Amino acid sequence: MQQQTNFFRDYRKLALLLQEGATFTAFDTETTGLHCQTCRIIEIGAVKFNADGIIDQFNTLINPQCDIPLECTNINHITNEMVKDSPVINNILPDFLDFIKGTYIVAHNASFDMRFLNAEIERCNLKPINNKVIDTLHMSRWAFPDLQKYKQPILAEMLGIKVTNAHRACDDAFVCGNLFLNMIKETASLQKL
């Protein structure tokens, strides 16, 4: 039975959380497909930050112990050859869970990444996480209700955030963190301080 994600949706309190010293971890995964029960994570990237800036980064390729479908490689450019000598998820997950401990998790379309993360946690028989999760996709719909599309690259371009390597986990995590901070600034009049 997969764990439920603890979403944080009171976006009007985010500036206050940031001001009071909360730590956030923007993260992203690349996977072998779309279904967390049959597909696996092949890359995790994360950027830990607070109001003062970046604190730390986490980035690793993961050997999924199965072939990466060509359609996935065409999107994220991660090949079987690239991951063949990478560690397996059992060896990575404890370090990643330690990395995010005590932080708010930030992800774009967070339900996707959290489904995969929770499925891998369950497969590894690790303790479920209880971090609060902020979904920048949902947040962007709140911040910019008149937009037609809310894909991360579109939002990044609109806010002047440079995207260097889309569909690679660490770069997408960095963009997501910047998107999060920019949306807090863009909604300053709505923030409760």
d(CA 47, CA 106): 10
∠ CA 115-143-56 to the nearest 5 degrees? 55
Q: In what order do the strands lie in the sheet with 6-7?
A: 6-7, 132-135, 104-107, 24-31, 41-50, 53-61
Yes or no: say if 27 and 54 are a contact pair by the CB < 8 Å rule.
no
Q: Write out the DSSP string of 74-116.
A: HHH---HHHHTTSPBHHHHHHHHHHHHTTSEEEETTHHHHHHH
Q: Is the backbone of residue 125 left (phi > 0), alpha (psi -120 to 50) or beta?
A: left
Instruction: Single out the catalytic residue among 35, 77, 138, 167.
Output: 167
Q: Would residue 35 show up in a list of annotated catalytic residues for this protein?
A: no
Pairing of strands 41-50, 24-31: antiparallel
Which residues participate in catalysis according to the annotation? Answer: 167
